[in-house]
Amino acid sequence: MRRGATVLPPRSRCGGPGVGERDGKPVLLNASRGHGLHSWPRGNLMLIAQPNVDATYTTSLWLPFAAEDPARPSWATMRTPQDVRRLFSEHFPDTRQFLPSFAEDVLSAHPGALKTVRCSPYHHERTVLLGDAAHTLVPFFGQGINYSFEDVRCFFEILDRNLAEVDVDTALRGTLPEFTRLRKPAGDAITDLSLAMGAQLKRHSATAGFQARAVLERRLHERHPDLYIPL
């Protein structure tokens, strides 16, 4: 993965919902959703444009480090600006006008590996693991920081409840294994969901069925937020 290519304020349609200007500022021409995420799924490679608060985008290019077929795109084949331009011309041609220095941006940073961490238990003696230390997630589901915050909330809820009844040492001895018992199953679930979402984005998000389901889920949530929350 490489980050850092900032999309300039666009002035024409670019991959999915159209983009234009309102009051001199770039906006997505999708009144119900506003400034949102774009993805260009291409099987084992993908480009994602994530929205920033200043109405620009930060792009991420996802490629395998190496491919069994040397003719297939991979980081091993991205050696020169010409290699990168050829990749974008073939797979992401509608983005080039918005990324004036994309070839240099792609080559300027070292690609990072996606990581998944699963461990058990989440504690040892008087030490506890929270957040990424216990359950590193791939970023496709977008819930890593939320789940880490929930770890902290859950841990202190258990600890505070125990402190109301026993001394600190006894409370800690009871809190740590209970924290692992409660959070480990959920940690495994969010990890699996993140991996599954990555596969969906890379292979299926451009299909009519995937997009129709996303629209349906969004409308169900808008009408019945207390009954339906989409993944």
pLDDT of residue 201: 77
pLDDT of residue 208: 80
Encode pLDDT of 66-89 as tens digits. 888 888 899 999 999 999 999 999
Q: Which of the residue ranges 4-18, 40-54, 199-213 would you say has the lowest mean pLDDT?
A: 4-18
pLDDT of residue 37: 76
Torsion over CA: 52, 76, 200, 115 (sign): negative
pLDDT of residue 164: 96
Whether pLDDT at 171 is above 90: yes
Encode pLDDT of 95-107 as tens digits. 988 888 999 999 9
129 and 119 Cβ atoms separated by less than 8 Å: yes
Task: Work out the pLDDT band at 8, boundaries 50, 70, 90.
Answer: very low
DSSP state of 12: S
Does the model's pTM come out above 0.75? Answer: no
pLDDT of residue 12: 29
Whether pLDDT at 134 is above 60: yes
Which H/E stretch holds residue 221? helix 208-223
| Residues in the chain, overall count | 231
Beta bridge partners of 123: 128
